[in-house]
Chains A and B, each alone.
Chain A
Amino acid sequence: GAVVSQHPSWVICKSGTSVKIECRSLDFQATTMFWYRQFPKQSLMLMATSNEGSKATYEQGVEKDKFLINHASLTLSTLTVTSAHPEDSSFYICSEVAAGRQETQYFGPGTRLLVL
């Protein structure tokens, strides 16, 4: 399967600060990446779809000004949680659509964010 990396793997920050999470496709160029969030003991919820060279599309209820997504290259998408608050503490995971296997998404290892 495709190889996706995320950095950092975990981060602790103070309330009000901004945190940037990177998602990299290591083995091929991904025109589309997805960002998910998982709260403890809950399912993965799609936040937004990141398209290379264009604006991300956000799911209903996700604030685009709070969760800034940039997909400036075919191998890198970033999610910035702006002015983070304790309720933003969650597990953030990116995924990419595998070339030649459009039906399958491969996921990164995730980033655990804890906002104090």
Chain B
Amino acid sequence: DQQVKQNSPSLSVQEGRISILNCDYTNSMFDYFLWYKKYPAEGPTFLISISSIKDKNEDGRFTVFLNKSAKHLSLHIVPSQPGDSAVYFCAARFLGKLIFGTGTRLQVFP
């Protein structure tokens, strides 16, 4: 039973445009949500997080939106850059443990 889902396995965006990565979850007890960027054979790199009591958090080019009623969160990257090309994982925290989604491969082309 996948508690955290990323339904889009891949996304292709032109440089300079907005990238929107989506994540859905089922457990209403998650208290924090995080986004990580990952390259093959490397550990995930933390990007941004949001508390379950917030609906938006912004850090530079990255903004995370949380819609608790829909159990949905999204990561916006604007403007997208070729260096953003990687696999993005959303993760949700429950009792201190992270549950990861299946990842979305983002490709930013010139």
Measuring CB to CB, which residues of chain A are less than 8 angstroms from any residue of chain B?
1, 4, 6, 32, 34, 42-46, 49, 91, 93, 95, 97, 102-110, 112
- Given A49-B97, A103-B93, verify A109-B34 contact (CB < 8 Å): no
Q: Residues 44-61 of chain B: 1 if any A CB is under 8 Å from the residue's CB, otherwise 0?
A: 111001010000000000
In the complex, whether B43 has a CB less than 8 A from a CB of chain A is yes
Q: Determine if B42 and A109 form an interchain contact, defined as CB atoms under 8 angstroms apart.
A: yes
Q: Determine if A43 and B49 form an interchain contact, defined as CB atoms under 8 angstroms apart.
A: no
A97 to B44, CA, bound (A): 14
Q: Is the interface of B mostly helix, strand, loop or mixed?
A: strand
Q: Determine if B41 and A104 form an interchain contact, defined as CB atoms under 8 angstroms apart.
A: no
- Given A43-B89, A44-B89, verify A107-B43 contact (CB < 8 Å): yes
Taking the closest CB of chain A, its distance from the CB of B41, in whole angstroms, is 6
**Range of interface residues on B (Cβ < 8 Å):** 20 to 34
Chain B, residue nearest A49 (CB): B97
Q: Contacting B42 at CB < 8 Å: which of A45, A46, A104, A110? A: A110
Q: Which of A4, A43, A46 has the largest count of B CB atoms less than 10 A from its CB?
A: A43
Residues of A within 8 A of B96 (CB): 32, 49, 97, 102
Q: Determine if A107 and B45 form an interchain contact, defined as CB atoms under 8 angstroms apart.
A: yes
Residues of A within 8 A of B99 (CB): 46
A109 to B44, CA, bound (A): 8
Residues of B within 8 A of A32 (CB): 96
Residues of B within 8 A of A102 (CB): 96
Taking the closest CB of chain B, its distance from the CB of A39, in whole angstroms, is 12
Taking the closest CB of chain B, its distance from the CB of A114, in whole angstroms, is 12
Q: Determine if B43 and A104 form an interchain contact, defined as CB atoms under 8 angstroms apart.
A: no
Q: Contacting B51 at CB < 8 Å: which of A45, A93, A103, A105? A: A103
Known: A6-B43, A44-B100, A107-B44; 17 extra A-B contacts, CB below 8 A, are A1-B46, A43-B89, A43-B102, A43-B103, A44-B44, A45-B100, A49-B97, A91-B41, A93-B43, A95-B43, A95-B98, A97-B96, A103-B34, A103-B51, A104-B34, A104-B49, A105-B98
